[in-house]
Structure 1
Amino acid sequence: MSTEVVGYDHSDGLATVTLRRPAAANALDRALKEQLLAAVVRAGADPGTRAVLLAAEGRNFCVGQDLAEHAAALESDPAHAMDTVAEHYNPLVTALAAIEVPVVVAVNGACVGAGLGIALAGDVRIAGEGAKFSTAFTGIGLASDSGLSHTLARAVGASRAAGLILLGDRFTAGQALDWGLVHRVVPDADLAESAVATARGLASGPTRAFREVKALLGADGSLADALVAEQRAQVTLGASEDHRQAVAAFLGKRSPVFQGR
């Protein structure tokens, strides 16, 4: 039986997925990749999930691919050493992006390579002030994977993304905040509490509206396409129970209680 290296908890609409390989800085070996994919799919498939929190134990979020395991694969079966991209990274990032409810990522310590790609597949990133980021791929003679060529460019712009991937420069939580890569930076000691509070707030929010927001933001197309999609979303949401009771709560000078309906 393989050791559990990914934790999963579901309570009050919040699915919490935790990387648990701290002694290896949460480097992505086969067990971690497989268990993480299973947990993400589970969170997305549960109809009771209203938000997801992705976090990590230890001093680091994720340093990317386990290079010791990769070196062994290069030695034993070089023709298939990169199969992990198709077998693990692509399905994992696809599954994260497919989750219809908000995904909060708590980033502590090193967030590198595929770890950065995984973080960028979420929606809201909260970083500890000591977090350090890097793409790292070209430093070992590779291009990017885990969706970085797409998500990083969308997050920070094509020019800055090109520099970060080509040069592999390390950057800080403060820089990530300035560039819009993360949404909040908090003291390291406050990261877990802040991330949980944010995720729980989203889990108690207007879930149907959040689903529509994610669909709108993830769509490709023209301004005209966006206007049509927004109109459809507003018509749909305007008939929802959450919208009606929220308007009534506003007029009644009380806080709304969203049921996700």
Structure 2
Amino acid sequence: MLRTLAIIAAITASANATATSTSIDWDLQSSNIISDGTWVAGSNSSTWKDAESIALTSDGVEVVITGWSDSEGDTSASNSKEYYDQIVEQGDLYYWGDSNGWGVVNGDESSNSVPDHSIDNYSSSLMYSDQDMVLLSFSEAVSLEGISVGWYSDGQNNILDVGAVAISSQDVANMSNGTSTWDDIYSEVDMSTISKQGSSNYYALDSDAGSSTFWLVGLYNEMENCDYDAFKLMGVTAKTSNGGGGTPPVDVPEPSSIAIFALGLAFIVRQKKLSSKFKLNF
């Protein structure tokens, strides 16, 4: 009897089990990108410095990374492009080795200038403001969990003010239209902050920011209180409810727990009747 009840309970639990989410890491070291054959070359690919985009597949899910910044001038604000950049345009990704990571060099910067060649919120010896971001484009919707950082400079408050925000495909299209500012792409109030975890260089989202195919990651303030920050990207961690592999789970109708238990009780009653029928009386 007890054994039969245990079997029923196991069947019930199995029937009610749902697909669990799985965390996936994308390690952006050059060796991983080479082995996957997903390097998308820029003008200087032979030296592993310059790229228009990079792509890496992990556990069946691909992420394509591009660099962006509000480094295009807005002539309606001033005739001086260097001081009044506002329009978003694509920049280059620069790779500075496995111990440092990837930075963004926008249209106003030089790859030889430090920290201009990182992902930062300032430029050209602090003369004007550029807000660099990296766009993470996944092959399926994910919940971003955090990033790994290599080299960084955390400004005056000794805190790296990193943030992430989920955006739509229309927002991504607007980034290329030559007229959009960051305010047109996302609202800063929707950006989730990312905080350092322990002594490692892993930074995790402080709250659940939802699920999306497209994520922007960068510094969540633009020279706020003259707190200039910069970092280089080493890795990405995200969660997918498909369990990895890029294949959605097959939906199978689940019988209710009550129905299964009722069938189990019917099985017990039947077994008792059979036992009584063939019982020998001495």
Q: Work out whether the TM-score is over 0.5.
A: no
Normalised TM-score (structure 2)? 0.26
TM-score w.r.t. length of structure 1: 0.27
Q: Which has the larger radius of gyration?
A: 2
Name the structure where helix makes up a greater proportion of residues: 1
